[in-house]
Amino acid sequence: MILNYKLFNPLGFHLLKLMQDKSLRNIILFGGSSSGKTYSMAQCGLILTMWEGANMLVMRKVGASIRDTVYQDFKTAADQLGITDLFKFNDGNKIITCIENKARIVFKGVDDSEKIKGLSSFKRIVLDEWSEFLEEDYKQIRLRLRGMEGQQIIFTFNPIKETHWIKKKVFDKQKWHDVPMTVELAGQVLPEELTRVKSIKMNEPRVIMHKRTGEMIEHSPDTIVIQTTYLNNFWVIGSPDGTYGYYDEQCIATFEYDRENDPDYYNVYALGEWGVIRSGSEFFGSFNRGKHSADVAYNPELPIHLSIDSNVMPYISVQFWQAYFEETTSIRQFDEICAESPNNSARKAAKLVADRLRELNASKVYIHGDASTRAANTIDDEKRSFLDLFIGVLQKAGFEIVDCVGTKNPSVPMSGEFINAIYDEAVPDIEILIGENCKISIEDYMSVQKDANGAMQKTKVKNKTTGQTYEEHGHLSDCKRYVVVDLLREQFLSFSNRRKRNLYAKDGAIRFYNPSTECKYTETLVYCMPNINGRFVLAYGKKCGDRWHITDVRFIETTSTENMKAALTECNSSRVILECSKSYYLMARDLRDSLDGDVRVVHESTDLPRRIAATSDYVRSNILFNETGMNDNVEYGEFMTNLLDYNKDANENIESSAVLSGFIQAVLKLGL
């Protein structure tokens, strides 16, 4: 067989040699787009089908995409090689048959790894767009390809995500060494300029036991990885001597545009490196990996702040942070632990963290994280929470723990806006820096999307082996939100209260009174809703001139009427109004007996959104809030966050707005 070298890219020459090497089981082709991976594989597949008379199976994850993609590449390659008349093309069944020897190239989709059967008749299996396959598919194909000498699996893909199972379970599991790019075919060494690609690596030999004799033998390297880019495609940049191929000016200009304007996209699709492709609707849209990640070192002179998320699938998330409060505040993530199975329990994850803390020679640790970690754990015999179990392991290991986990998580949309504003340098003198070693966190920050309401859109995936459904992204991003808001609480509350999109802002800001200024109050009023969406909420106002100061609030989850009565009594107001159902009438009667003031009961409103809308102007003009109380009082801060996050369209975060609107309605009805 005589081949015209002007029909091939460098990758094609390597494949012609490697696909005839019986010691190679796996040939992995990865890199950027327009690098000729699939096309070169198609050329060599056609040639070796004629040469050897062996069958080939070409697979994609979704069968419907085959006809217009890889199948078409084979037809085009046959035409370009001038061998179309040597094959029969069955477009309906997507089968190519060599007329001379009846060897077939079969194209098939994979919709279930259990259906991958009957591979023994194929010498080669091609997994095109390998990154779309599940790990279960890959395992099944490896096991079922047997019964013939020199069988191979050829993989082609673009390395989109650093956290993809291919990188973790294939690339990172083996040791690799560089392989010379020299190619010798038919006794002739090809010129270097015709065989140069980005890189070629081979795995190391392994020692295994012979299953029959029990002898320890060395298993030769069986996997080779070839990385290519558009710069290795002569039909993009032209041939080395300029006599064949094609210089695609428009394609090159597109890559150059991406290099300047979308470095993440360029990194994957031009350079063929592991990375994340951004969609433009990311939750942390202002995070720039090049700008906001660096080599972040642990500082033994500063305390460690751990942020945890207790979701066990795909892993329990733990992040390591430190805060520099100097002229410029710097919040830095220097490490991460993603505790996958079998370490995805509170105790086992905490043991991993304890080991890391010992390496750092740490002693005192601050814990931040998801408020739900405080919930009782029904799995534990003593019904201890995830947080109790986690902290217990660290304390037993000798670490001093400071529990900073709040009773309620910060608003998802607002904390996202706040962190994006820091990345955009809209919040002065604050930076957030992520360590380059925190690869899973960075991938999460770049991948998690924003939904229509500004919250995280946590897309669910299903593990086919376990049947479990879980949220693929967002848990590490939540960890970042928790710790950043905790460490920058004052700045976060100030940012939240001055944003322009809330219902109650006047001239772009919420209005406050100065609690340190002596005021002459003429009236007081406590308005309470004992059970609004499971919360006990009250607003305590005092009248100063023609305005009302909201001096105190309650915003708690409780069903205890004793706790409610105690809270109302503490306010010591001359006038108390309860908006409630009949089940709280007895509590109101007890309050009348214990309080000197006027205690009244009103029926629950049947149209809270309408009442809130009707009273919002009054809030903007006549209600002032306690900014100091927001920073110092957790409940006041939660009340205000809920108030400002009220979403009338989705009927979300209505509790504080409902109580405040009832307060105003009472003021107007009583003529106060």
Report which of residues 320 and 142 the model is more confident about. 320
What is residue 11's predicted lDDT score, i.e. its pLDDT? 96
Using the Cα atoms of residue 156, residue 160, residue 165 and residue 169 in order, give the sign of their dihedral: positive
What does the pLDDT look like over 591-613, one tens digit per residue? Answer: 998 888 899 999 999 999 999 99
What share of the chain in percent tops pLDDT 90? Answer: 62
Q: Which two tokens stand for residue 294?
A: 């660096």
Within 10 angstroms of residue 335's Cβ, the number of other Cβ atoms is: 21
* Residue 517, pLDDT above cutoff 90: no
Q: Is pLDDT at 88 greater than 90 in this prediction?
A: yes
Residue 635: predicted pLDDT: 86
Other CB atoms within 10 A of residue 474 CB = 23
Q: Quick one: pLDDT at residue 561?
A: 93
Q: Is the pLDDT of residue 629 over 80?
A: no
Q: What is the 3-state secondary structure (H, E, C) of 55-70?
A: CEEEEECCHHHCCCCH
Q: In this structure, how many other beta carbons lie within 10 angstroms of the beta carbon of residue 628?
A: 14
What's the CA gap between 38 and 58, in Å, rounded?
11
**Residue 550 near residue 623 (C-beta atoms within 8 A):** yes
Percent of the chain surpassing pLDDT 70:
96
Helix axes 655-670, 634-644, angle to 10 degrees: 90
SS (H, E, C) 262-317: CHHHHHHHCCCCCCCCCCCCECCCCCCHHHHEECCCCCCCCCEEEEEECCCCCCEE
| pLDDT tens by residue, 156-167 | 999 878 778 999
Three state DSSP letters for 629-668:
HHHHCHHHHHHHHHHHCCECCCCECCHHHHHHHHHHHHHH
At 259, the pLDDT band (50, 70, 90 cuts) reads confident
Give residue 114's pLDDT.
56
Residues 6 or more apart whose CB falls under 8 angstroms from that of 385 comprise 373, 374, 375, 376, 377
* Residues in the chain, total: 672
Cα 445 from Cα 447, distance rounded (Å)? 6
For residue 79 the two structure tokens come to 């035409």
First and final C-alpha spacing in the chain:
101
Q: Is the pLDDT at 378 greater than 60, yes or no?
A: no
- From residue 461, alpha-carbon distances to 134, 313, 329, 443, 464 in Å are 12, 10, 38, 17, 9
Instruction: Retrieve residue 534's tokens.
Output: 């499971």
- In this prediction, residue 631 has a pLDDT band, given cuts at 50, 70 and 90, of low
Please tell me the predicted confidence (pLDDT) of residue 645.
Answer: 80
DSSP state of 468: -
CA–CA separation, 610 and 667 (whole Å) = 17
Q: Which residues contact 360 (CB under 8 A, 6 or more apart)?
A: 298, 300, 304
Q: What is the helix (H) or strand (E) element at residue 320, kind and residue range? A: strand 316-325
Residue 29 and residue 15: Cα distance in Å, rounded? 10
| 3 state DSSP class of 538 | strand
> Which residue from 252, 44, 52, 72 is spatially nearest to 148, judged by alpha carbons?
52
User: Cβ distance 266 to 241 under 8 Å?
Assistant: no
Beta-bridged to residue 526, according to DSSP, are 540, 576
What amino acid occupies position 450? K
- Compute the distance between CA of residue 428 and CA of residue 494 in angstroms, rounded to an integer: 12
Say if residue 502's pLDDT is above 90. no
Does residue 469 sit in helix, strand or coil? Answer: strand
State the pTM of this model.
0.61
Mean pLDDT of the chain: 89
The H-assigned helical ranges of 539-633 are 561-571, 585-594, 608-622, 627-632
Residue that is written with structure tokens 């991958």 in the block: 116
**Sign of the torsion formed by the C-alpha atoms of 178, 183, 184 and 188:** negative
- pLDDT mean over 75-101: 95
Average pLDDT in the 162-182 region?
90
**H-type alpha helices, 6-88:** 10-18, 37-52, 70-81
What is the structure's pLDDT at 210? 74
Half-sphere exposure of 361 (CA within 13 A, CB side): 4
CB 587 within 8 A of CB 576: no
pLDDT digits (tens, 9 = 90+) for 269-305: 898 888 777 767 889 988 988 789 999 999 999 999 9
The rounded distance, in Å, linking the Cα atoms of 127 and 113 is: 13
Residue-wise pLDDT tens digits, 69-81? 999 999 999 999 9
Interacting residues of 392 by C-beta distance below 8 A, sequence separation 6+: 350, 384
**Whether the Cβ atoms of residue 513 and residue 544 lie closer than 8 Å to each other:** yes
- Angle (CA) 360 361 364, round 5°: 100
Of the listed ranges 103-107, 232-236, 639-643, 657-661, the one predicted with least confidence: 639-643
Give the residue-averaged pLDDT of 246-254: 94
Beta bridge partners of 509: 506
Query: 225 has which bridge partners?
Result: 28, 201
Backbone angles phi, psi at 226, to 5 degrees: -115, 125
537 contacts 639 by C-beta, under 8 angstroms: yes
- Reduced to 3 states, what is the DSSP secondary structure of residue 50? helix
Query: Cα(293)–Cα(336) distance, rounded to whole angstroms?
Result: 14
pLDDT tens column, 456-499: 888 887 766 667 788 888 999 999 999 999 999 988 887 876 65
- The CA distance from 314 to 316, in Å, is 7
Are 372 and 475 in contact by the 8 Å Cβ rule? The answer is: no
Beta bridge partners of 329: 325, 430
- Decide if 41 contacts 91 (C-beta within 8 A): no
Counting DSSP H helices and E strands in the chain, the numbers are: 21, 32
Decide: helix, strand or coil at residue 223: strand
Question: How much is the average pLDDT of 364-373?
Answer: 93
Pick the closest to residue 417 from 499, 304, 315, 324 (CA basis).
Answer: 499
Residue 529, classified by CB atoms within 10 Å of its CB into exposed (0-12), middle (13-18) or buried (19+), is: buried
User: Could you tell me which residues are beta bridge partners of residue 294?
Assistant: 435
Q: How many CB atoms lie within 10 A of CB 151?
A: 17
